[in-house]
């Protein structure tokens, strides 16, 4: 492989083409794990090779010294556990088993950082990859798909981790698009993530948590807003395969220190310190909309008392996630940004009582309505709620951003100008005709703490008055023109001998 430096576009295109090995054989929700794990292995191998050659240049033939230095790197690759080794073994009859063993050894050698990351993917699976002959052919194709100049991830060649991290994010977004409803379970559209990052404004030294972290894209985008590496990411994810995606995603972005737990956030949160929930400067999430059977039966005895404002209905976990997030935001300084379905704004019953309590505590800072069809798996419009434990003003800002977007074939998209308009309106915190409204506490009370945006932002556009006489004149003029056209047509038809 040469030192050819690929562009981001070339990397993305080559990665997507590698998926052809599995298309039509297994579902995208399954083959994404094979592709992303192989991408991760290729990245580890290229970085390891780069480090070895740098030390070789520095220390010459002193292999013992080189070996000691390599052991102190951010990860370790045991002997015969590289992508190059698999290239050499690609014709082996047991290539699937050999790939599994390579991954197992890598996990063991980096147990603290990579424990369990590869446990959900089996390269020797007959049910997923076919019988031995077909499986071996597909795996050989996969190896060769990644053995290309466009996928050279050596830092000395590509120069930055951003390129490989962006490639990983690109694949996740494509997989989310193809996965339909399931796509929304592990990916938040990049533009929405950037919007939340700008709204929450994380600062150097912040602890950032996503309790429904999915593949990690939202948390990474928010953390990158800090502007340097002085932050710590935390997260929780209940799906084991998705948790593994998040772990690899963090690693590929140079965020190895991220603390991502595989657990059920609502029923068994694992981010705990001294028998209390960990608290964070920034808590952000795109939790599953209206999750059913979330654990209401045990909420009354919650050991962390997260539901002291009320217990949400068993068929809708929205306010369970919201209350968890607020309880894990630091007192007097923590901020929360959460994406919710619009029903959260106005549903009554237990949810109405929780909403009232949150407003009376003066925690709610803003309600932002987003366009429809932004998210994978659902066409319904969503909203962003911003809570702020350092809030000083009593008012709540409502923004109706539902009409600012670029129409897409499958998904709509926020444009830069749409994001900038939302951010500037949030920062100015002023009423903007037909777009934003600053509501006083007594107005919220008068509306029974209903947060439905049209109650506050009047977007009604009166229709232009119709001049009946002018319209009648236009009709008569058109009718006259039509008579003339018919006469001309009749003459043409006579000339042609048709009439």
230 and 174 belong to one structural domain = no
3-class secondary structure per residue, 130-191: CCHHHHHHHHHHHHHHHCCHHHCCCHHHHCCHHHHHHHHHHHHHHHHHHCHHHHHHCCCCHH
334 and 474 belong to one structural domain = no
In a domain, 187, yes or no: no
- Residue 39: CATH number of its domain: 1.20.1260.30
Mean pLDDT, rounded, for 151-163? 76
In a domain, 55, yes or no: yes
451 and 472 belong to one structural domain = no
Structural domain ending residue among the three candidates 144, 178, 212: 178
In a domain, 253, yes or no: yes
In a domain, 1, yes or no: no
pLDDT at 194 > cutoff 80: yes
92 and 144 belong to one structural domain = yes
150 and 52 belong to one structural domain = yes
SS3 category, 65: helix
pLDDT at 353 > cutoff 60: yes
In this prediction the pTM is 0.86
What is the Cα–Cα distance from 267 to 119, expressed in whole angstroms? 23
With bands split at pLDDT 50, 70 and 90, how would you rate the model's confidence at 466? Answer: low
**Counting Cβ atoms within 10 Å, is residue 259 exposed (0-12), middle (13-18) or buried (19+)?**
middle
In a domain, 436, yes or no: yes
What is the Cα–Cα distance from 215 to 233, expressed in whole angstroms? 13
474 and 446 belong to one structural domain = no
80 and 211 belong to one structural domain = no
With bands split at pLDDT 50, 70 and 90, how would you rate the model's confidence at 456? Answer: very high
In a domain, 460, yes or no: no
Write out the residue range of the structural domain in which residue 112 sits: 8-178
368 and 297 belong to one structural domain = yes
318 and 375 belong to one structural domain = yes
SS3 category, 418: helix
- Residue 426: CATH number of its domain: 3.40.50.150
In a domain, 3, yes or no: no
pLDDT at 183 > cutoff 50: no
pLDDT at 463 > cutoff 60: no
Q: What is the pLDDT of residue 25?
A: 75
Q: What is the pLDDT of residue 175?
A: 75
Per cent of the chain over pLDDT 90 is 68
450 and 469 belong to one structural domain = no
How many domains is the chain built from?
3
Structural domain ending residue among the three candidates 178, 201, 236: 178
Give the chain's mean pLDDT.
90
Mean pLDDT, rounded, for 140-147? 93
SS3 category, 91: coil
In a domain, 375, yes or no: yes
Structural domain ending residue among the three candidates 178, 212, 241: 178
- 170 or 55: whose pLDDT is higher? 55
215 and 151 belong to one structural domain = no
What is the Cα–Cα distance from 22 to 161, expressed in whole angstroms? 27
For residues 223 and 202, the answer to whether their CB atoms sit within 8 Å is yes
68 and 16 belong to one structural domain = yes
């Amino acid at each position: 492989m040469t030192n050819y430096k690929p562009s981001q576009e070339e990397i993305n295109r080559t990665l997507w083409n590698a998926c052809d090995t599995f298309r039509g054989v297994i579902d995208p929700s399954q083959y994404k794990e094979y592709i992303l794990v192989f991408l991760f292995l290729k990245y580890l191998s290229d970085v390891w090779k780069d480090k070895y050659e740098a030390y070789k240049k520095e220390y010459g033939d002193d292999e013992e010294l080189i070996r000691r230095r390599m052991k102190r790197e951010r990860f370790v690759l045991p002997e015969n556990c590289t992508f190059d080794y698999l290239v050499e073994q690609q014709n082996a009859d047991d290539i699937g088993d050999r790939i599994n063993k390579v991954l197992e050894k890598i996990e063991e050698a980096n147990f603290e950082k990579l424990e369990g990351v590869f446990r959900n993917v089996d390269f020797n699976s007959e049910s997923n990859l076919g019988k031995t002959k077909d499986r071996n052919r597909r795996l050989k194709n996969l190896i060769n798909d990644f053995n290309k100049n466009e996928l050279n991830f050596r830092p000395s060649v590509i120069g930055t981790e951003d390129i490989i991290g962006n490639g990983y994010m690109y694949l996740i977004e494509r997989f989310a698009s193809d996965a339909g409803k399931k796509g929304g379970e592990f990916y938040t559209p990049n533009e929405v993530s950037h919007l939340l990052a700008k709204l929450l404004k994380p600062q150097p030294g912040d602890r950032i948590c996503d309790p429904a972290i999915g593949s990690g894209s939202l948390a990474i985008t928010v953390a990158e807003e800090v502007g340097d590496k002085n932050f710590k990411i935390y997260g929780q994810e209940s799906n084991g395969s998705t948790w593994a995606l998040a772990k690899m995603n963090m690693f590929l972005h140079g965020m190895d220190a991220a603390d991502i737990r595989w657990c059920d956030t609502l029923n068994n949160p694992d981010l705990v310190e001294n028998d209390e929930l960990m608290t964070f400067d920034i808590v952000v999430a795109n939790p599953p909309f209206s999750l059913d059977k979330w654990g209401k039966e045990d909420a009354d005895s919650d050991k962390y008392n997260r539901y002291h404002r009320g217990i949400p209905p068993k068929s809708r976990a929205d306010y369970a996630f919201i209350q968890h997030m607020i309880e894990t935001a630091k007192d007097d300084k923590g901020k929360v940004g959460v994406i919710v379905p619009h029903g959260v704004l106005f549903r009554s019953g237990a949810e109405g009582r929780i909403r009232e309590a949150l407003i009376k505590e003066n925690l709610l800072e803003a309600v932002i309505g987003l366009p429809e069809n932004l998210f994978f798996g659902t066409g319904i419009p969503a909203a962003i709620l911003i809570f702020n434990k350092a809030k000083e003003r009593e008012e709540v800002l409502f923004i109706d951003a539902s009409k600012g977007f670029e129409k897409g074939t499958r998904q709509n998209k926020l444009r830069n100008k749409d994001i900038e308009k939302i951010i500037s309106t949030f920062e100015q915190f002023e009423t903007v005709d037909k777009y934003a409204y600053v509501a006083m506490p007594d107005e919220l009370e008068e509306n029974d703490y209903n947060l439905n945006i049209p109650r506050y932002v009047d977007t009604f556009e009166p229709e232009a008055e119709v001049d009946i006489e002018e319209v009648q004149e236009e009709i008569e003029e058109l009718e006259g023109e039509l008579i003339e056209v018919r006469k001309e047509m009749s003459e043409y038809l006579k000339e042609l001998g048709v009439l």
